[in-house]
Amino acid sequence: MADTETLMPYDEALERFEPVLGLETHVELGTASKMFCGCPTEFGAPPNTQVCPVCLALPGSLPVANAEAIESTIRIGLALNCSIAEWCRFARKNYFYPDMPKNYQISQYDEPLCTDGYLDVVVDGRTVRIEIERVHLEEDTGKSTHVGGSTGRIHGADYSIVDYNRAGIPLVEIVTKPIAGTDTLAPEVARAYVTELRELVRTLGVSDVRMEEGSMRCDVNVSLMPRGSSEWGTRTETKNVNSLRSVERAVRGEIERQAAILADGGRITQETRHFHEETGRTTSGRSKEEAQDYRYFPEPDLLPIAPDREWVAALKAALPELPSVRRSRLQAEWGVSDLDMAAMHNADAIELVEATVAAGAPAADARKWWMGELARRANEAGTALAELSITPAEVARVTELVASGALNDKLARQVLEGVLAGEGSPDDVVAKRGLQIVNDEGELSAIIDKVLADNADAADKVRSGKVAAVGALVGGVMKASRGKADAARARELILEKLGVS
């Protein structure tokens, strides 16, 4: 890569500099039709099958705003504690680039629909308030593929081919105010904010917020200033960071890069940078110093939006329970610590635990299995918990089998393994693998007799009052029964047989 740079180790960078962040997040709304025309918005349709005269900018066509998209944007603004404009307009953002057939994008400029809100996130037990500058509505661009050249990138390509299916899909842009004072937590704060925002938007049901499909995209602004300084440094903007993990890595990587340059007496160029998923590094894109003038002006083809106050109040009253409120409620219901709740949140396990509890499992058991054995298996397989091929109802059934004494924890793990391997429901796996606990007292008694005979020394110790030695005998019974014995009952019977009860 052309600009391989030296980096300053993160801890050293943070000893010398303080980071200031800014995040711009784009969310594609999940409306059935596009923002200004009736074309469908389905992801992955064959190229140029979801286009019409309006979104292709053919002469004589006129845009009309999608009511649902306006409402969704206002709901996002309300959920972010924003003020909703009493009157605002769309604006033309003029630029010459083939991803917009009009040569401008319909966006909002100095009159955004929502302003001045906030979103609280919790990082490391500390609540950080992220101030929201604005939430505005615009249209997405088409998708270009660059042909020729060696890398498939725009630089060096011979030409490009464009699919306008995505052009005109409603896009909400959520912009934070500068986030200062996060110190060493900056990368985690950035990630926590995007995570919380994604959850919030998903709860509102206005977008599927799939970062891997691009329906949620993040631009990350980072600048550094020397410790103790009050003057912010020059910032860079890293574009299209497309996973939560990448948000964190992009902030961290940019801090390390900028710190090395500044410490070396250099200056930061205000520019757009591209994030590379494989390396976690950014490379220089176009420089903002030659920034274009977008010649914004009010969109003459669309009428102003003047949201009725009663309507806004009704939308606010009808907001669903927001994620942070819901988490507090569930934490109280489940009686878990802040730490355990944060761990479940980070593992994306809250919904799964909630559904498992709804299917009849005690909260402690549901949490134990999802955060223990299942988290371990997801980690091994390198997938998200929710991607495991087991349902909350199946996990609830396993907890029920354990509670009834039909399974112990060891057998339950084997049942989970069977379900994950596609062997059927928990009951199917129990039947097929023969995993029932040995409840037949006669069978258990026979196993114990054999174990006592084989371990006469240990048996004598227990007889002579060293009850601790019973552990080895219980272990022997568990082994002899291939884990199917009820350990507690086996212990009782052993003590009984040895006359130590």
Chain residues in the site for other proteins (CB under 8 A): 2, 31-33, 37-40, 46-53, 56, 58, 64-70, 87, 89, 97-98, 144-147, 154-164, 297-300, 302-308
CB of 27 to Zn ion, least distance (A): 20
Work out what residue 305 binds among Zn ion, other proteins, none; the CB cut-off runs from 5 to 8 Å by kind: other proteins
In a 13 Å sphere around the CA of 418, the CA atoms on its Cβ side amount to 21
Identify which of residues 118 and 311 has a Cβ nearer to other proteins in the complex. Answer: 311
Work out what residue 109 binds among other proteins, Zn ion, none; the CB cut-off runs from 5 to 8 Å by kind: none
CB of 55 to Zn ion, least distance (A): 3
Identify which of residues 184 and 283 has a Cβ nearer to other proteins in the complex. Answer: 283
Work out what residue 157 binds among other proteins, Zn ion, none; the CB cut-off runs from 5 to 8 Å by kind: other proteins
Give, for 374, the enclosing helix (H) or strand (E).
none
Nearest one of 335, 276, 325 to 2, comparing CA atoms: 276
Work out what residue 147 binds among other proteins, Zn ion, none; the CB cut-off runs from 5 to 8 Å by kind: other proteins
Looking at the DSSP bridge assignments, the partners of residue 175 are: 24, 134
Q: Taking CB under 5 A as the rule, does residue 45 contact Zn ion?
A: no
Q: What is the CA radius of gyration of the chain?
A: 30
One of 23, 35, 39, 135 touching Zn ion (CB under 5 A): 39
CB of 37 to Zn ion, least distance (A): 3
Identify which of residues 284 and 455 has a Cβ nearer to other proteins in the complex. Answer: 284
CB of 4 to other proteins, least distance (A): 14
Identify which of residues 39 and 474 has a Cβ nearer to other proteins in the complex. Answer: 39
Work out what residue 314 binds among Zn ion, other proteins, none; the CB cut-off runs from 5 to 8 Å by kind: none
CB of 36 to Zn ion, least distance (A): 8
In the window 18-37, what residues touch Zn ion (CB under 5 A)? 37
Identify which of residues 37 and 222 has a Cβ nearer to Zn ion in the complex. Answer: 37
In the 8-state DSSP scheme, what is residue 98?
T
Dist CA 201 CA 67 (whole Å): 18
SS3 of 5-18 = CCCCCHHHHHHHEE
In the 8-state DSSP scheme, what is residue 40?
B
CB of 357 to other proteins, least distance (A): 35
CB of 139 to other proteins, least distance (A): 14
* CA-to-CA dists, residue 409 to 337, 373, 436, 466, angstroms: 23, 10, 12, 27
Identify which of residues 22 and 168 has a Cβ nearer to Zn ion in the complex. Answer: 168
The C-alpha angle with vertex 415 and arms to 476 and 450, in degrees rounded to 5, equals: 20
C-beta atoms surrounding 401 within 10 Å: 21
Binding mask 46-65 for Zn ion (x = CB under 5 A): ------x-xx----------
Helices assigned H by DSSP within 157-308: 186-204, 244-263
Q: What are phi and psi of 372, to 5 degrees?
A: -100, -100
Most distant pair of Cα atoms in the chain: their distance: 101
Identify which of residues 53 and 471 has a Cβ nearer to other proteins in the complex. Answer: 53
Dist CA 369 CA 328 (whole Å): 21
**Torsion angle defined by CA atoms of residues 185, 219, 252 and 210, in that order, rounded to the nearest 10 degrees:** 80
Joined together, the tokens standing for residue 362 give 């005690």
Identify which of residues 54 and 119 has a Cβ nearer to Zn ion in the complex. Answer: 54
Residues that bind Zn ion (CB under 5 A): 37, 39, 52, 54-55
